[in-house]
């Protein structure tokens, strides 16, 4: 089939990878299951067909978040995680990713799930599978085991289990439990050590309640929980920064030197470009962005609703374009433009 390059979508079973063939192959874009003869028992192939063959044909698999962040570590850039609330946000994020040829994470917050339900999850997963670049759907700041379980059972393969509001031992126990659950579903897990101040969609942490990530504790935490990535608190905040951001880069450098998983920074909205670049140099491989994209959505909506006669399709297109411009700017800043090929074999 003249395959020189392929996108690794994931595994059907351990040791049975799935490829999407590259443009230079005989069948560009073909989803190809590589079944080694020395893998699995006598019924393994039957299991694959019966378990993964829906009535309407093969379901395309998602690129794992762990693979995205490992590629970012190797390439010295960061992947953007962008929170979405509806189809307009999904179109904006994936549209920007495809235009920039960038990997990306479409993120869902607990409050959004509460209002929109599992149909929103299904929509995000479908859009991610059909995207022309590596996309995954990620749960952001989920604190309730039942919600995480429901989303994993719905097909989500990337979660943030947030126990940061608990004392350390309770955080560790919750994260370890959620990591075991994620492994049962073949999902990657992010956790947070320390606690960010600021507000995000109704969840507020006062400055006096926030705490920075302790580097020594981070080493023990990662080893004890087995998480795939760690969200750190080094002076970053949720929502708008109250003044000039004060990032503890020395602390970040120490954590990066001691911890052997990719690092995540929440609260990237409003951080100056120089700070973003420095954070990437010191090991941040994923930035979360919500406020700036959400504000662009609301501003565009307000502007589009001003005329007396409103074309709803034009309003939605206007909002998508406004959000997509912000996402594209962040991808350029994070260095993920044209990095989709680092995920290819």
Residue 323: how many other CB atoms lie within 10 Å: 26
Contact between 93 and 106 under an 8 Å Cβ cutoff? The reply is yes
Name the residue with tokens 């997963």. 125
Q: Report how far Cα 240 is from the mean position of its chain's Cα atoms.
A: 21
Percentage above 90 pLDDT, the chain:
60
Q: Is residue 159 part of a domain?
A: yes
* Judgement on whether residues 112 and 87 belong to the same structural domain of the protein: yes
> If residue 56 lies in a helix (H) or strand (E), which one and from where to where?
none
Quick: pLDDT tens for 206-238. 454 458 899 999 999 999 999 999 999 998 876
Same domain, 164 and 228: yes
The pLDDT score that the predictor gives to residue 344 is: 41
Through-space distance between the first and last CA atoms of the chain, rounded to whole angstroms: 15
Which residues of the chain fall below pLDDT 70?
47-61, 196-210, 238-242, 341-345
Residues 109 and 168 in one domain: yes
Residue numbers of the domain that contains 23 = 6-52
Is 58 a domain residue? no
Whether residue 57 lies inside any domain: the answer is no
d(CA 99, CA 89): 15
Q: Tens digits of per-residue pLDDT, 119-159?
A: 999 999 999 988 988 899 999 999 999 999 999 999 999 99
Residue with tokens 């960038």: 102
How far is C-alpha 113 from the chain's CA centre?
16
Phi, psi (5° rounding) for residue 43? -105, 10
Q: Which residues contact 227 (CB under 8 A, 6 or more apart)?
A: 175, 179, 189, 190, 191, 221, 261
CA distance 184 to 163: 20
Q: Are residues 97 and 123 located together in one domain of the fold? A: yes
CA–CA gap between residue 260 and residue 107 (Å, rounded): 24
- Determine, yes or no, domain membership for 331: yes
CATH number of the domain that 239 lies in? 3.20.20.70
Q: What pLDDT, on a 0 to 100 scale, did the predictor assign at position 204?
A: 45
* 22 lies in the same domain as 159: no
Q: Which residues contact 191 (CB under 8 A, 6 or more apart)?
A: 160, 161, 162, 163, 164, 171, 175, 178, 179, 221, 225, 227, 229, 230, 231
Main-chain phi, psi angles of 184, to 5 degrees: -60, -30
Query: Which pLDDT belongs to residue 7?
Result: 82
- Given this model, what pLDDT does residue 227 score? 95
Q: Which tokens belong to 52?
A: 């993964």
Both 180 and 245 in one domain: the answer is: yes
| Statement to judge: residues 115 and 249 lie in one domain | yes
Q: Cα Rg for the chain, rounded, in angstroms?
A: 20
Let me know whether 105 and 15 are in one domain: no
163 domain residue, yes or no: yes
Question: Is 248 a catalytic site residue?
Answer: no
- The answer as to whether 47 is a domain residue is yes
Task: Determine which one of 140, 162, 201, 228 is catalytic.
Answer: 140
Quick one: 48 and 82 in the same domain?
Answer: no
Let me know whether 154 and 295 are in one domain: yes
Are residues 14 and 73 both part of a single domain? no
Q: Is residue 264 part of a domain?
A: yes
Q: What pLDDT is attached to residue 57? A: 44
Core vs surface per residue 279-310: b (16+ CB within 10 A) or e: bbebbbbbbbbbbbbbebbeebeeebeeeeee
Please count the residues of the chain.
Answer: 345
* Residue 88 in tokens: 């307009």
Q: Is residue 60 part of a domain?
A: no
Tokens representing 73?
């570590």
In the chain, how many domains are there? Answer: 2
- Using an 8 Å Cβ cutoff, are 235 and 212 in contact? yes
**40 and 150 assigned to the same domain:** no
* Per-residue pLDDT at 52: 52
């Amino acid at each position: 089939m003249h395959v020189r390059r392929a996108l690794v979508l994931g595994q059907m079973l351990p040791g049975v990878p799935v490829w999407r063939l590259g443009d230079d192959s005989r069948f560009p874009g073909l989803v190809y299951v590589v079944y080694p003869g020395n893998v699995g028992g006598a019924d393994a192939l039957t299991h694959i067909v019966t378990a993964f063959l829906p009535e309407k044909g093969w379901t395309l698999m998602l690129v794992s978040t762990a693979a995205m962040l490992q590629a970012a570590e190797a390439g010295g850039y960061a992947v953007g995680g962008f929170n979405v609330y509806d189809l307009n946000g999904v179109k904006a994020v994936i549209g920007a990713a495809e235009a920039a040829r960038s990997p990306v994470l479409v993120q869902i917050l607990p409050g959004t799930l509460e209002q929109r339900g599992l149909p929103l999850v299904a929509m995000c997963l479908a859009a991610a599978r059909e995207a022309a670049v590596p996309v995954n759907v990620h749960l952001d700041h989920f604190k309730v085991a039942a919600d995480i379980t429901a989303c994993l059972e719905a097909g989500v393969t990337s979660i943030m289990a947030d126990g940061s509001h608990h004392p350390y031992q309770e955080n560790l126990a919750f994260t370890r439990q959620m990591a075991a659950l994620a492994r049962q579903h073949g999902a990657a897990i992010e956790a947070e050590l320390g606690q960010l101040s600021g507000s995000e969609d109704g969840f507020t942490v006062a400055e006096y309640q926030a705490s920075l990530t302790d580097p020594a504790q981070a080493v023990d935490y990662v080893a004890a929980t087995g998480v795939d990535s760690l969200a750190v608190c080094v002076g970053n905040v949720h929502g708008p920064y109250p003044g000039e951001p004060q990032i503890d880069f020395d602390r970040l450098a120490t954590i990066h030197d001691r911890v052997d998983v990719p690092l995540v920074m929440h609260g990237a909205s409003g951080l100056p470009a120089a700070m973003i670049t420095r954070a990437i140099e010191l090991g941040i491989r994923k930035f979360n962005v919500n406020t700036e994209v959400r504000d662009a959505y609301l501003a565009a909506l307000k502007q589009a609703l001003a005329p007396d006669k409103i074309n709803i399709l034009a309003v939605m297109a206007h909002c998508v374009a406004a959000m997509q411009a912000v996402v594209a700017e962040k991808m350029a800043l994070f260095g993920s433009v044209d990095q989709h090929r680092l995920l290819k074999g």
